[in-house]
Amino acid sequence: MNHSMEPNHISQPASLLHTKPENPSTSPISIAPEVLESPESDTPHAHSVHPEHTATVYSLDGIYSMYYSRLLAVTYRMTGTMTDAEDIVQDLFVYLSQRQEELPRIEHMQAYLIRAVTNRSINLLQSARKKRELYTGPWLPEPSLQSASSRRSRSAGSGSNHDNDHLQCSLHPVVDQMPSSSTADSDAEQLMLRQEELSYAVMVLLDQLSPVERVIFVLRESLGYDYCEIAGYVDKSEAACRKILSRVHARLEPAAVSSAVASQQGESLVLAFLAAAREGDLQPLLERLQEDVRLYTDGGGKVRAALRPILTRSRVTAFFHGIASKGSLDGQWSMVWINGEPGLQLQRDGRTVYVCALQWDSSGQIQNVYMVSNPDKLREPV
């Protein structure tokens, strides 16, 4: 089986039902803790596969429809790019399509699938660190974009507003009474994420963590797994997992502050910036910059962008005036929701060329600016 994480272009698992296994003896879905050191291991996990368990029969189409979107969301949080998340989840379903006779033996489908994408994500993150050292300029996560009109329609349809709680849920400890993965079987409702999205500031900070730290955070805060289960996933003690998560919370605190500001006044501030930008006036945005603001631009070597972070308000201001004078900021500006928080989008001829996410401090000043222009990371808003 190919472990390179190259895309497997599938849209529905039904098309894969007759795929011949390349090598049944090797398994990218290895689920023993030692998979962190040996991804070829095929030792089953006691709580995931039981040879004698045949009471529940799964169809590949049913598993796909029940779990695909949630697995994609979890894997995106673990890897930071939707492209990698899609590759991992699709590769998993390719693997399952080649071993459908084993599906009835899986007692806890959710635990099995989560462990599979977790192992693959850790392996990818370990290799990605070396690749990102060679990346041209700062590497930023792929933003998850939603148009303002789509956001309003969704809020109206659900009758609820999650803007104020999506990050608070993700940064504060959860109670130990959350349902465990080992007691949840194939019911897709058990795979509900604890919040809709992690803010872009959180996604940036997560990329500064080790792969194991990142996985612990996602398993605990997004899925509510207990520390005993998490310890088995990452081959560490429960106490170590608790300590790691406590350190992660401390490192992510600035993002929690930013989320609180964004939920209260982010939309009004972005709309004010937008109105001024449409008149060619950047001053309202620049006046909100913190004195020690940092600007990160990610062009991926494919479009012109700063190769290093730009520090301090005077230099960031000079940068924006410089690219504006060259016409780089010309186009159609609009507000867009970036990982659940309001940000800015620049389009030309119907194509997105920039998205700009903002991280706020407690006074409502802009602490960090994240500009993504790498076309490989820019998908049109849903």
| DSSP code per residue over 16-85 | GTTPPPS-TT--TT--SGGGGT-TT--PPPTTTB-TT--S----HHHHHHHHHHHHHHHHHHHHS-HHHH
List Cβ neighbours of 361 (8 Å cut-off, separation of 6 or more). 254, 257, 258, 261, 290, 367
- Average pLDDT of every residue of the chain: 78
What CATH number should be reported for the domain whose range is 262-377?
A: 3.10.450.50
Average pLDDT over residues 106-119: 91
For the chain, what are the domain ranges?
A: 1-134, 262-377
* 123: alpha, beta or left? (left if phi > 0; alpha if psi -120 to 50): alpha
pLDDT band at 157, cuts 50/70/90? low
List Cβ neighbours of 322 (8 Å cut-off, separation of 6 or more). none
Residue 288 has pLDDT above 80, yes or no: yes
Rounded to 5, what percent of the chain is helix, strand, coil? 50, 15, 40
Instruction: Give whole-number Cα distances, 307 to 203, 299, 315, in Å.
Output: 20, 9, 14
Q: Are 97 and 13 a contacting pair, CB within 8 Å? A: yes
pLDDT tens profile 120-148: 999 999 988 777 778 999 999 999 999 87
pLDDT at 215: 95
Q: Are 259 and 167 a contacting pair, CB within 8 Å? A: yes
Residue 24 has pLDDT above 90, yes or no: no
The tokens for 147 are 């148009």
pTM, rounded to two decimals = 0.76
DSSP assignment of 308-368 equals S-EESHHHHHHHHHHHHHTTTT-SEEEEEEETTEEEEEEEETTEEEEEEEEEE-TTS-EEE
pLDDT tens profile 189-243: 444 455 557 899 999 999 999 999 999 999 999 888 999 999 999 999 999 999 9
Instruction: Give whole-number Cα distances, 273 to 101, 279, 280, 297, 345, in Å.
Output: 57, 10, 10, 19, 12
Direct distance between the N- and C-terminal alpha carbons of the chain, in angstroms, rounded to an integer: 34
pLDDT tens profile 335-373: 999 999 999 999 999 999 999 999 999 999 999 999 999
Residue 324 has pLDDT above 70, yes or no: yes
Cα separation, 285 vs 333, in Å, equals 13
Average pLDDT over residues 232-255: 94
The torsion angle over the Cα atoms of residues 312, 315, 317 and 318, rounded to 10 degrees, is 180
On the CB side of 16, CA atoms within 13 Å amount to 22
For residue 135, give the amino acid letter. Answer: Y
pLDDT at 274: 87
Residue (of 187, 49, 207, 73) closest to 138 by Cα position: 207
Instruction: Give whole-number Cα distances, 118 to 113, 197, 370, in Å.
Output: 8, 18, 27
Average pLDDT over residues 77-95: 95
Q: Are strands 289-298 and 366-372 parallel, antiparallel or unpaired?
A: parallel
